[in-house]
Amino acid sequence: MNLFEVWQVQQHFGGIPVLDNITFQVRVGETFGIIGPNGSGKSTLIRTMSGLLKSSQGEILLYGKPIGSYRKRDLARLIAVLEQEGIPPLSFTIEEVVAMGRYPWLKPLSDLSHLDEQIVEDVLKNLGLWKLRSKGVNTLSGGQRQMVSLARAMAQQPKVLILDEPTTFLDIGHQVLVMEHVREWHQSQDITVIMVLHDLNLTSQYCDRLLLLAQGHVQSYGEIHDVLKPETISSVYKTELIMIEHPVQHVPQFLLTSK
């Protein structure tokens, strides 16, 4: 069953085409990766799929209904988005920011119920943020802030999690930490995960299927082994690469070679 159906989507900004004739599907319950070089339109695609941008042409269906037909609040109950920059350095505490994830579920003008607070508490404990909960977000490191961002998304209890380069500003420890928590959440709650990633080695380890974008076009689309081919990747990223197999997980990994 398909969660997202993207049909011939085009996106122009001021007459300049950014996405051209994009067609693909995301299945319910999978982890779907979107990769491509800088400027290939990954973020624009994500922003269009999450309802932030309207597509210039084509159609995006979520559970068979056009994405534009959802009310903002209903969309927020289905989709949570983790942005690249994470949370700005606010003086709100961690628990306050995580509680904002409950917003789409609150009735107008009502406070958090006990159930809402229980959800926030569980998420904080689950992600190891419980002891830090009264700290201001502005006192945290980039890695911790991304964890708070993830916690907020979890409190939102969506069916779909969209991540836009969630690991870009993180050290390797936090990269794996964030990805592992996403995977655990994916497996325990059966959510669908769509992520834009820069790091091809993380991509191959965490994604089921991939979409490779180049200059606003679909370059390649399908299973990991069909998309991550050394000749394709080398030509799209315009760089020399060596592909090896991960000794434990048996997925493709890439090594960069200096000239």
Contacting positions for other proteins (CB under 8 A): 47, 50-52, 72-77, 79-81, 83, 85, 87-88, 90-92, 95-97, 99-101, 103-104, 106, 109, 111-112, 117-118, 120-121, 124, 133, 156
Nearest to 20 by CA among 12, 29, 28: 12
CB atoms within 10 A of CB 202: 20
H-helix or E-strand containing 207? none
Judge whether 102 and 150 are in contact, CB under 8 Å. no
Provide, rounded to whole angstroms, the least separation between the CB of residue 76 and other proteins. Answer: 3
The pair of three-digit structure tokens given for residue 130, joined into one six-digit string: 């419980």
Provide, rounded to whole angstroms, the least separation between the CB of residue 139 and other proteins. Answer: 13
Provide, rounded to whole angstroms, the least separation between the CB of residue 116 and other proteins. Answer: 9
Burial class (CB in 10 A: 0-12, 13-18, 19+), 134: exposed
Amino acid identity, residue 74? D
Nearest residue (CB) to other proteins, 146 versus 219: 146
Nearest residue (CB) to other proteins, 5 versus 83: 83
Dihedrals φ, ψ of 221, to 5°? -155, 130
Nearest residue (CB) to other proteins, 195 versus 227: 195
d(CA 178, CA 167) in angstroms, rounded, equals: 8
Nearest residue (CB) to other proteins, 103 versus 221: 103
Provide, rounded to whole angstroms, the least separation between the CB of residue 89 and other proteins. Answer: 10
Nearest residue (CB) to other proteins, 64 versus 108: 108
Provide, rounded to whole angstroms, the least separation between the CB of residue 135 and other proteins. Answer: 13
Provide, rounded to whole angstroms, the least separation between the CB of residue 73 and other proteins. Answer: 4
Provide, rounded to whole angstroms, the least separation between the CB of residue 169 and other proteins. Answer: 16
d(CA 63, CA 250) in angstroms, rounded, equals: 33
Nearest to 241 by CA among 228, 251, 250: 228
- Which residues are registered as beta bridge partners of 82? 163
Nearest residue (CB) to other proteins, 113 versus 239: 113
Nearest residue (CB) to other proteins, 137 versus 170: 137
Judge whether 246 and 253 are in contact, CB under 8 Å. yes
Q: By three-state DSSP, how is residue 109 classified? A: coil
Sheet of 57-62, strands arranged across: 16-27, 2-13, 57-62, 65-66
